[in-house]
C-alpha cells in the first residue's frame, strides 16, 4: 500500500478513512500523539516514544484503549503493509467519543488513530534556515497534545519566509522549534533548554545529550537567550523525523559554522545509531 490509516481496528488508505464527529479529537483536539521513524519495517526507538505517549495520556487522564506492548506489536505489524524503505509512523489517541461538552465522564476509552506514510530522514548534513518566532504557547508544552495551533502558525510563517523551521523565544529565552528541539554548541559545550513545561522533551534531544556525554562533550541544560543562539558556534535542530541538523541562518542572519567537527561528530553518531538499529 502507498500509505495506511488505522482507526479503532479499521484500516485503509488514509484518504479513504473517516472519523466520527463524536470523536473529541475532532472538535477539541482532545488527545495526545507521538511519531517515530521506521526503516526496514523496524520502528526506531519505538519503546521510548510509546513510553512518552502513555505518560502524556496519564497526565491528561486519557484512558488508553490498548496496552503499551500491544500498541508496539500493532505498529510493527501495520508498517509491513506500507511500501518503502523508510516510513513515518504517526499515532494518536483521543479522549474518546461523546457530545461536545468540555467536561468528560470517566470510563470512556480513547480512540486510537495511526497513520503510516513513506518518508525519509533525508540529508541530515544539509543545514537549515530558521526564523525566530515569539512563543505564544501555553505551559503544557511538555505534553505532546493534538492542540498545535501556535506551532502550525509558526511553521507556516517560517515557510512563507523561505525557512525550514521556526525557533521559538519566550521572554528573551529560546524554548524550542515549532516541531523540533533546539540546542547550541559554544566553546565545546552543548547547551540545551531545560526539560520543563516550555519544551517537549524530545527523544532525539535525549539521544543528542547521551551522545555528547559519551564523547566527553559537557552538557548544560539551562536557559539561553536569543543573543547566545545567534553567537553560538553551532545550532543543532533535533527531531525524530530529521535526526539532527545544523543551522545556516536565523532570521536571515548567518550563524554557526565555527565548530563543524563536534557538529559532524554528534550528527554522525545519531545517524549511525538510526541506521544500525534498523538494519535487517
Backbone φ, ψ for residue 88 (5° rounding): -110, 125
- Return the residues of window 142-171 that contact ligand PLP according to CB under 6 A: 151
240 binds ligand PLP, rule: CB under 6 A = yes
Cα–Cα distances in angstroms (integers) from residue 279 to residues 69, 250, 273, in the given order: 22, 35, 10
The Cα 246–Cα 125 span in angstroms is 7
By beta-carbon proximity to ligand PLP, the closer residue of 1 and 206 is 206
> What DSSP line would sit under 232-253, residue for residue?
-SEEEEEETTTEEEEEEEETTE
> Considering the rule CB under 6 A, would residue 111 count as an interface residue with ligand PLP?
no
Q: Which of 43, 202, 246, 256 binds ligand PLP (CB under 6 A)?
A: 202
Site size toward ligand PLP (CB under 6 A) is 13
Whole-angstrom distance, CA of residue 64 vs CA of residue 66: 5
Work out how close the CB of 89 gets to ligand PLP at its nearest, in angstroms, rounded to a whole number.
12
Choose between 111 and 192: whose C-beta lies nearer to ligand PLP.
192
Q: How far is the CB of 20 from ligand PLP (least distance, A)?
A: 26
Helix (H) or strand (E) holding 155: helix 149-160
CB-nearer residue toward ligand PLP: 151 or 262: 151
Between 111 and 151, name the residue whose CB sits nearer to ligand PLP.
151
- Strand arrangement, sheet containing 111-118: 10-12, 4-7, 111-118, 86-94, 31-39, 42-43
| Interface pick for ligand PLP out of 38, 205, 233, 234 (rule CB under 6 A) | 205
Binding interface with ligand PLP (CB under 6 A): 151, 176, 179-181, 200, 202-205, 238-240
Amino acid at each position: 500500500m502507498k500509505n495506511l490509516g488505522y482507526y479503532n481496528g479499521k484500516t485503509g488508505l488514509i484518504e479513504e478513512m473517516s472519523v466520527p464527529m463524536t470523536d473529541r479529537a475532532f472538535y477539541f483536539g482532545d488527545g495526545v500523539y507521538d511519531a517515530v521513524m521506521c526503516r526496514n519495517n523496524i520502528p526506531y526507538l519505538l519503546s521510548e516514544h510509546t513510553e512518552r505517549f502513555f505518560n502524556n495520556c496519564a497526565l491528561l487522564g486519557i484512558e488508553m484503549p490498548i496496552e503499551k506492548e500491544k500498541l508496539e506489536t500493532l505498529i510493527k505489524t501495520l508498517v509491513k503493509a506500507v511500501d518503502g524503505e523508510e516510513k513515518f509512523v504517526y499515532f494518536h489517541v483521543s479522549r474518546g467519543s461523546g457530545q461536545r461538552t468540555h467536561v468528560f465522564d470517566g470510563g470512556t476509552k480513547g480512540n486510537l488513530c495511526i497513520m503510516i506514510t513513506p518518508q525519509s530522514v533525508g540529508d541530515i548534513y544539509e543545514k537549515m534556515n530558521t526564523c525566530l518566532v515569539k512563543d505564544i504557547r501555553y505551559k503544557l508544552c511538555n505534553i505532546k497534545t493534538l492542540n498545535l495551533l501556535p506551532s502550525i502558525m509558526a511553521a507556516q510563517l517560517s515557510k512563507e519566509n523561505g525557512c525550514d523551521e521556526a525557533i521559538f523565544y519566550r521572554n528573551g529565552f529560546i524554548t524550542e522549534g515549532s516541531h523540533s528541539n533546539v540546542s547550541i554548541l559554544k566553546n565545546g559545550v552543548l547547551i540545551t533548554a531545560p526539560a520543563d513545561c516550555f519544551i517537549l522533551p524530545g527523544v532525539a534531544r535525549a539521544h543528542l545529550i547521551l551522545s555528547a556525554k559519551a564523547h566527553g562533550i559537557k552538557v548544560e541544560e539551562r536557559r539561553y537567550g536569543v543573543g547566545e543562539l545567534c553567537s553560538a558556534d553551532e545550532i543543532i535542530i533535533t527531531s525524530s523525523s530529521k535526526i539532527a541538523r545544523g543551522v545556516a541562518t536565523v532570521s536571515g542572519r548567518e550563524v554557526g559554522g565555527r565548530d563543524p567537527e563536534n557538529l559532524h561528530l554528534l550528527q554522525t553518531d545519531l545517524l549511525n545509531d538510526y541506521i544500525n538499529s534498523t538494519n535487517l
